[in-house]
Structure 1
């Protein structure tokens, strides 16, 4: 029988609770009598309004207004003073449920005392024990010898005593904590457990803090932790992160202890001091921010004295993007700044991501756009890390201003005008050509004719460039110019038919395409090359006007490209299941414009044939391939074939073959696969992002082998083990950095699920090397209090 501790108004009929537990229908009838007694003849009866969902959070006003409900087999007491419930006693208040054999509630003090099989559920977090003394609303009190379980990470433990400080904070004494699932039997011991003198749980911040603790693994003390904080959910938290230990053949043993600072919901920072036995001490920092109009990340690393180089070492990088809306238009900008202390940084600190390249960009760019106008300003400066044994040609520093105006469907025409002023500077002793100021203009207009069955688009372009050099060319001039017109026509048709394959309704398309381009020859052999390179020969570039990317050289062309593509689409969803294509050029005249004197020009006649296929008839596997075939020599110039097989979660096998005649030939395999398949263990799917069940081994790796060099280029081999509440990963890697040198590494990590990690994590290495790799424990989402509702 339920009743409210709040007094009824004068004159209301009293529904007296019986001594034995009654069905809920009687309680509802009593409540209705109380409501009806308060109604006047002129008032409409109260009605219930439906709610679209249950409230996850309960505000304080609702808590204050809500009554306390008591129920049990026998209830005695005095109204508005004390109530004693015997047998299956239960007390309910929004967010809190208390159950016990005996429950005493003192209304003036809001004090509850419970004994015998006491269970308290506070927003899904459960405590159980023999006795409880609690101020219900303030949630202050003590719980003797409790066991507890937390909602968000399913962690649990026991203690000699729990002290409830407030609704969010609880301190447990002589406590244990683990996320290992309890198994039947009195002798069960968790694989890992934190034993502490006291642990403070803050469910408001989702943080636990342990003092005087030891981390036990397999009932063996593993790590003393005088003080440690750990998460109670996936929410970010400030505190010292687990140390990482690494081994290297150059830096020696590395020990890092990161500290994470959760500054705000949109800002955080990580500071990581590291001891390298061969070099010394280094400190790295990372600051991330996400503001309404800009976001980015700043990273820096400083070593005050490198014992191997006898010098201070440092590196810094900043990546930021922003968007500023103004009355005059939208302004977007990007910053990509990278700088290091010396030329050897890239090889000595190979673990520091973006700073390991020998050419470091410092790129600042801003773009203003409004009503078809686009103005872009850019400043690009390079830091080139040279080596006495390997000198590389540095890229050009660039200062650029680009202005463009474009209109689409202007009386059926698409047209644009573009002007660009650029300054190119570099070390002339290495580039072997003068620096320059370049002005180019590009005008183009097209008239698309589009219909459901196809399209045709004629197009005109005019490209003009003017150069002013800081020294003379071979012909004695300090200036040059070039103007090149281009005419092209792009046309295509689309045919469709209904078909079927294995009782699956399909739509097959047939898409012939014809592309003609005419660019007359203009002598450009005297022009240096600053930003131009040959386009890769593929299905995209074969249908473009210029064989080059950039503005220094415009290839002369008189050619036509024939293409034919067929696709198979699912008739119900439109999903592309297969694609097959072929394309070939016919050049009416020899190409005369080349990038430099050593580049061979394209000859008149038929080009190589481009063949491509992509097949995804099943979600379990896919194939994508491109072949460049020379019909004159009956040989393939270039071949790329990639295949993947993903029959189910945590199973993927990727294979690739890459061939470029007279350049390279490689095969590449990568995988993630449960080894338990070898002895026939069935999957135990326990939810997304939780692996395939306890006690499973997974093989992970990647092998990249050069057939023309007869050696391994990249090697990555590892094993993951999922024990349910803990994971172990060991990965061995080897990377060939040159024809005579390589680097090797071993990464080992022990992850205590929902608590902490020890070792050097190989997760980023696995994700970047194995396509479709899945982490055995993906974070994300949170449990509702209603998933653990009493």
Structure 2
């Protein structure tokens, strides 16, 4: 007997069936499912009615069955009996086990599973990790399908060197709000001899019923851990994410707007893991916590366009902000003349107003954009400044003119037709001097010196330092475009800033920036062929006649699942000089032996029996050691994939966390072992997963 139903094929020796009640049996059945590509066999299938059936001595796998030979798949799920119920869309298996190469990996006397993509409560595949800090880790997740719009997952994790970590996640989705809560608790961690815990909450809530607050919405982002060492000891926990960072944000934001008006009210407090009590950390492993905002009220006005003096299309914006800044650091006051640290660190309230007006005149060959900014702020401090004041205020304007030209011409380069452009640009900016030395720095920092920020009218981000500038910034860029589709093939840019007077307003402990020319910035990109991508940025100091910062990058990608990236970074502009090399790769090993790699197969990488090398390495030339490392191998056997990855994460100058990740992925069924995929996706540039979701084949492909 052979039955082809919607592309799913069933074959057997004998079929007995009552057509009116759909009762009967099918002996020596072999089946093949179109959607998953899986196939199997059973000694017999008993049909109880048109919705229920029982299969005996079942074996299922996605490994191919060779024609005319006995079937011994590399992996298979076997069961004594499997009951199917289409009414409840569930199946129940008795005496089930998962075998790989004839070795049982998992076994259970009874298990229930869904028959479709619908969610169902139950045990998820376990994961295993081997860590030099926690020992052998085993996680057995349990999924709870609470409702169509709510679910939860429990993550109990046993760590042989530390104890039992109880983690969980709860997700919810309603029409006006949604979010998730994650938490973990470990009683008496043997590593630190104390209880450990963490939680994270993300919540978004639309508030359409507040007529007096149009478009209102509430956002909560709460993150908290038990102690300062949590980021070291739980850098990759599956329950609380992003804990490798040491700044955990806790914020509540009410925001909205209507038309040209926008508003926000925010409360923000940071948990800093290993926070210093002063602005200058006395220990190398301490960091400085940012200021908390308790609270911050902001109002923004952005009209679509204004008409001034009969000229339209003027862009105008007004920003108002009132923020109370608070910190748990020890207060520090500088009197303006004492040697040593020149920083003031005080709690206070800042009221801020920024008005901006600009207009752009533009044609295909040139543009001119004048702008005017009025920046005013008022402070009130909880302790007096170095000169005895408890309040301070200042206002100052900034005028700027941004102008540029565009030239282009057809050209031929290396026997290829291109369009070349020449784009000179000039920015003239002026801001008067206001003494700001004694004021604290709540949110200001120096911009990174790059081809984008060199044209900014203020070298500092934030609002606590507005530099007194009279600068002329000039640059020249040339680009090569493909005339057929406009793709940029190459670009080369050069820029420099000329200070027409000394810049006296600086950040604390910075010297006066003397008039004259700044460092020269040079940037280039080359994308001449789809396989190669090259780029670089150089910061050249004319006085020292040397490059003080260099970034060089290259990427070679000749085809799918073949990528190699290289980056070199050298920075001498900071106190601690750094020189690093960054390598990333995903490459089939067959391409290294000279045999060449086969063409890609839709949804299945380069086909079966393929080895891949994958990884990323960051090496520090100054420290002469590997800082971070992710390296391993993947083997695609067709119906299963094996992965082994070594991960090393540097946590301090003397301490690193290392673990081995290994995983067996049974195609179309499940994964067993660790979870290296998340690490590979985040660490390896342009990493491609060996299995991709594709549209299922049509049932008409098996039409008979």
TM over 0.5: yes
What does the per-residue CA deviation read over 1:238-258, in whole Å, with 9 as the maximum and x for residues that have no partner?
431111111222222111101
CA distance change for structure 1 residues 222 and 553 in 2, over 3 Å: closer, same or farther?
Answer: same
Distance in 1 (alpha carbons) for counterparts of 2:85 and 2:640: 23
Cross-structure match for 1:320:
203
- Out of 55, 62, 86, the position equivalent to 1:172 is 55
Find out whether 1:665 has 2:579 as its counterpart. yes
Distance in 1 (alpha carbons) for counterparts of 2:224 and 2:495: 45
- Out of 134, 144, 147, the position equivalent to 1:251 is 134
Asked if 2 retains the 8 angstrom alpha-carbon contact of 1:373 and 1:403, the reply is yes
What does the per-residue CA deviation read over 1:196-234, in whole Å, with 9 as the maximum and x for residues that have no partner?
102345678886543202222112333323234567776
Give secondary structure in 2 for the equivalent of 1:693. coil
CA distance change for structure 1 residues 331 and 565 in 2, over 3 Å: closer, same or farther?
Answer: farther
CA distance change for structure 1 residues 478 and 766 in 2, over 3 Å: closer, same or farther?
Answer: same
Asked if 2 retains the 8 angstrom alpha-carbon contact of 1:652 and 1:671, the reply is yes
CA distance change for structure 1 residues 397 and 495 in 2, over 3 Å: closer, same or farther?
Answer: same
Find out whether 1:550 has 2:435 as its counterpart. no
Alpha-carbon deviation of 1:440?
A: 0.9
Cross-structure match for 1:346:
231
Distance in 2 (alpha carbons) for counterparts of 1:652 and 1:138: 59
Find out whether 1:496 has 2:392 as its counterpart. no
Distance in 2 (alpha carbons) for counterparts of 1:696 and 1:258: 31
Find out whether 1:331 has 2:219 as its counterpart. no
Distance in 2 (alpha carbons) for counterparts of 1:425 and 1:123: 67
CA distance change for structure 1 residues 330 and 452 in 2, over 3 Å: closer, same or farther?
Answer: farther
Q: Which runs of 5+ in 1 are unaligned?
A: 1-117
Find out whether 1:400 has 2:296 as its counterpart. yes
Give secondary structure in 1 for the equivalent of 2:496. strand
Give secondary structure in 2 for the equivalent of 1:464. strand
Report which stretch shifted further, 463-472 or 623-632: 623-632
Alpha-carbon deviation of 1:760?
A: 0.6
Asked if 2 retains the 8 angstrom alpha-carbon contact of 1:378 and 1:401, the reply is yes
Asked if 2 retains the 8 angstrom alpha-carbon contact of 1:233 and 1:782, the reply is no
- Out of 377, 380, 384, the position equivalent to 1:465 is 377
Report which stretch shifted further, 160-169 or 774-783: 160-169
Alpha-carbon deviation of 1:404?
A: 1.3
Q: Which runs of 5+ in 2 are unaligned?
A: 277-282, 333-343
Cross-structure match for 1:163:
46
Alpha-carbon deviation of 1:605?
A: 1.0
CA distance change for structure 1 residues 601 and 153 in 2, over 3 Å: closer, same or farther?
Answer: farther
Q: Which structure exhibits the higher relative contact order, with contacts defined as CA atoms closer than 8 Å and separated by 6 or more residues?
A: 2
Asked if 1 retains the 8 angstrom alpha-carbon contact of 2:601 and 2:607, the reply is no
Alpha-carbon deviation of 1:136?
A: 5.4
Distance in 2 (alpha carbons) for counterparts of 1:549 and 1:150: 59
Give secondary structure in 1 for the equivalent of 2:700. helix
CA distance change for structure 1 residues 235 and 540 in 2, over 3 Å: closer, same or farther?
Answer: farther
Cross-structure match for 1:183:
66
Give secondary structure in 2 for the equivalent of 1:702. strand
- TM-score, with normalisation over the residues of structure 1? 0.81
Give secondary structure in 2 for the equivalent of 1:507. strand
Give secondary structure in 2 for the equivalent of 1:476. coil
Asked if 2 retains the 8 angstrom alpha-carbon contact of 1:234 and 1:782, the reply is no
Cross-structure match for 1:51:
none
Root-mean-square deviation over aligned CA pairs: 2.4
- Out of 361, 368, 373, the position equivalent to 2:256 is 368
Cross-structure match for 1:192:
75
Distance in 2 (alpha carbons) for counterparts of 1:430 and 1:623: 49
Alpha-carbon deviation of 1:153?
A: 0.9
Distance in 2 (alpha carbons) for counterparts of 1:670 and 1:514: 38
Distance in 1 (alpha carbons) for counterparts of 2:76 and 2:268: 53
Asked if 2 retains the 8 angstrom alpha-carbon contact of 1:215 and 1:225, the reply is no
CA distance change for structure 1 residues 205 and 667 in 2, over 3 Å: closer, same or farther?
Answer: farther
Report which stretch shifted further, 425-434 or 123-132: 425-434
Give secondary structure in 1 for the equivalent of 2:682. helix
Cross-structure match for 1:429:
330
Asked if 2 retains the 8 angstrom alpha-carbon contact of 1:153 and 1:232, the reply is no
- Out of 153, 173, 176, the position equivalent to 2:36 is 153
Asked if 2 retains the 8 angstrom alpha-carbon contact of 1:283 and 1:303, the reply is yes
Distance in 2 (alpha carbons) for counterparts of 1:639 and 1:196: 62
Asked if 2 retains the 8 angstrom alpha-carbon contact of 1:725 and 1:753, the reply is yes
Find out whether 1:773 has 2:687 as its counterpart. yes
Cross-structure match for 2:389:
477
Alpha-carbon deviation of 1:309?
A: 3.5
Alpha-carbon deviation of 1:468?
A: 0.5
- Out of 101, 105, 110, the position equivalent to 1:227 is 110
Asked if 2 retains the 8 angstrom alpha-carbon contact of 1:462 and 1:483, the reply is yes
Count of aligned residue pairs for this structure pair: 672
Give secondary structure in 1 for the equivalent of 2:528. strand
What does the per-residue CA deviation read over 1:59-108, in whole Å, with 9 as the maximum and x for residues that have no partner?
xxxxxxxxxxxxxxxxxxxxxxxxxxxxxxxxxxxxxxxxxxxxxxxxxx
Cross-structure match for 1:37:
none
Distance in 2 (alpha carbons) for counterparts of 1:142 and 1:444: 81
Alpha-carbon deviation of 1:428?
A: 3.4
What does the per-residue CA deviation read over 1:429-483, in whole Å, with 9 as the maximum and x for residues that have no partner?
1776210011011111112212222211111111111111011111111111121
What does the per-residue CA deviation read over 1:623-675, in whole Å, with 9 as the maximum and x for residues that have no partner?
12111111221111211111111111111101001111152110100101011
Find out whether 1:649 has 2:576 as its counterpart. no
- Out of 595, 612, 628, the position equivalent to 1:714 is 628
Larger Rg: 1
CA distance change for structure 1 residues 219 and 524 in 2, over 3 Å: closer, same or farther?
Answer: same
CA distance change for structure 1 residues 679 and 233 in 2, over 3 Å: closer, same or farther?
Answer: farther
Asked if 1 retains the 8 angstrom alpha-carbon contact of 2:232 and 2:651, the reply is no
Give secondary structure in 1 for the equivalent of 2:689. coil
Distance in 2 (alpha carbons) for counterparts of 1:133 and 1:776: 43
Find out whether 1:584 has 2:496 as its counterpart. yes
Asked if 1 retains the 8 angstrom alpha-carbon contact of 2:298 and 2:319, the reply is yes
Cross-structure match for 1:380:
268
Cross-structure match for 1:277:
160
Report which stretch shifted further, 728-737 or 615-624: 615-624
Alpha-carbon deviation of 1:523?
A: 0.6
Give secondary structure in 2 for the equivalent of 1:552. coil
- TM-score, with normalisation over the residues of structure 2? 0.90
Cross-structure match for 2:243:
355
Cross-structure match for 2:430:
518
CA distance change for structure 1 residues 580 and 284 in 2, over 3 Å: closer, same or farther?
Answer: same
What does the per-residue CA deviation read over 1:17-58, in whole Å, with 9 as the maximum and x for residues that have no partner?
xxxxxxxxxxxxxxxxxxxxxxxxxxxxxxxxxxxxxxxxxx
Give secondary structure in 2 for the equivalent of 1:414. strand
Alpha-carbon deviation of 1:342?
A: 2.2
Cross-structure match for 1:606:
517
Find out whether 1:678 has 2:573 as its counterpart. no
Find out whether 1:486 has 2:398 as its counterpart. yes
Distance in 1 (alpha carbons) for counterparts of 2:173 and 2:226: 29
Cross-structure match for 1:97:
none
